[in-house]
Chains A and B, each alone.
Chain A
Amino acid sequence: MHRDQMSEITVLPGTNRNGKREGFDQIIIRPGDTLSIVGPTGSGKSAFINDIEVLAQADTVTGRRILVNGVPPSDEMARDPSKKPIALITQSTRVIADLDVSRFLELHIEARKQTHIKDLIENTIALANEFTGEQITRAMSMTALSGGQTRALLIADAILIGRTPILLLDEVENAGIFKERVISCIKECRKTVIFVTHDPYLALSTDRRIVMSNGAVVKVLEPRERERATIARVSEIDDLLWDLRERIRSGDLIGEEDAIDEEIGVPA
């Protein structure tokens, strides 16, 4: 089976930090679903999506098991990157490889068995540059990229080179990249996506929200229409903050006319 056609993921419960079983029977993630994972720092959010990436079989600290299309994944799928339906952008995106950008991408293209290497490298760098303010060029050394540049490049890499139906993103908002652009790009590609996030707008904008505590899933929320009004408001606040952030970053002085409370009517 080709990886593009398969992609229903089932997460089976593990245990929390005290060895107590998690309070759900199974979480099924269907093609096109969007989920967010929220919870205090250290609550096990990264561990949850790492379990999915390695297709865990009770062999990680959490003890969770992952099924693909209802059955345990084949060895091949778990071990050959070109067969794996999942791309993960880890929270730490430090790169150690002593390679320039184009060679790094080229090797990853080979690992993922994609074709049209030259175009794909160009397109990936171009897409990354839509996500970051500071331009990345092909001759730059991977280790010299900033945190935000690396993250932008790895997201572009996951979308274009990984080309997997499932995308896992660990705190995209944290590196000063253009998060809106990333999200709209992901939506255009109709991917299944899981965001680990502390960002209210991102968390509210997904179909389902998984709440973590002490290493375990404690709630799976499906807000449907109930949060719609809030989302609209948070979106406005978010736009305003975004605009403000960009102006501060580019060196503007922020004047009285920017008084935020009037503009969007946030209760004082």
Chain B
Amino acid sequence: MKLAIIAGPASVGKTAVVRQIIREFRESSNPAYVKIDVVRAFEDEELREEFGIPTRKVYSGDLCPDHAGIMVLQDAISWAQNVGSGLLIIESAGLCLRCTPYTTQSFGIAVLSAVSGSNSPLKMAPMIAQADMAVVTKTDLVSQAEKEVFREYIKEVAPSIDIIETNATQGTGMRYLMKALAAYPDLSDAAQIVLRGSPPLGVCTICVGKKEIGWQHHFGVIRPLEEADNIYRGD
């Protein structure tokens, strides 16, 4: 079984990309799909109805949705194997731009939208840099020049990443993604899968429910306004 992990901010077109992947691999690989979200998600029902494939959703509730995704991933792999799937697709909630849900033995796809402003690649740098491929959606809504300028911003963040530009609702240009995903190896040993990057630190007294504002009231990893940079920096 192959594992594909799809990340990206809200409403960029992750599910639109997933639909194209399912269309392509429906015959050959019996895709299974898991959506992780915070309070509501509808994709599992929609995709099950549309394609008749096994789907699930996970609500993260009080947990960071990316952390929740990592927690349930091992179970999700077993579930997908049990239903006889050859391709498990995980769609992240896309809320935290610092967490990157990609793991070893999986194909990581960062989805960005061409209409979300030229700084958006810079803001989601870790999510792009650790992916195998960046998919830029909604290129049908911008001029060719702007599409190419957006591409330069992505390369600033991740100079060698594979970039795909698409109208995800039509699937234009997606053939490169399909080729790369088809060529990607199956996962070999689920027990050995680990995260590619280090997630942000989440150990402070806010995590355990204290509500006061200001670092003076907390301990663990804390941060004042000044010298904010040297507490931690993501990779």
Contacts and interface: CB of A to CB of B under 8 A. Distances in A.
B149 A104 contact: yes
A140 interface: no
Contact of A111 (B142, B152, B164): B152
A61 interface: yes
Given A98-B118, A157-B145, A107 B152 contact: yes
B175 A154 contact: no
Interface in A215-252: none
B112 to A, nearest CB: 13
Interface of A: 50, 53-54, 56-57, 59-61, 75, 78-79, 81, 87-90, 92-99, 104, 107-108, 110-112, 154, 157-158, 161-162
A99 B149 contact: yes
B174 A111 contact: no
Interface residues of B, number: 29
Given A79-B176, A92-B143, A96-B146, 11 more contacts: A54-B172, A59-B174, A61-B170, A79-B173, A81-B151, A88-B143, A95-B142, A97-B149, A98-B118, A108-B145, A111-B152
Contacts of B150: 97
Contact of A78 (B148, B151, B153, B173): B173
B171 interface: yes
A162 B143 CA distance: 13
B149 A107 contact: yes
Q: Is the interface of B mostly helix, strand, loop or mixed?
A: mixed
Q: Which of B114, B146, B150 has the most CB of A within 10 A?
A: B146
B184 to A, nearest CB: 16
Ranked nearest first, the 5 interchain pairs of A and B with the lowest CB-CB distance are: A111-B148, A97-B118, A81-B148, A107-B149, A88-B144
Interface string B107-118: 000000011011
8 contacts: A50-B140, A60-B172, A79-B165, A79-B176, A90-B143, A95-B146, A97-B117, A111-B149
B82 interface: no
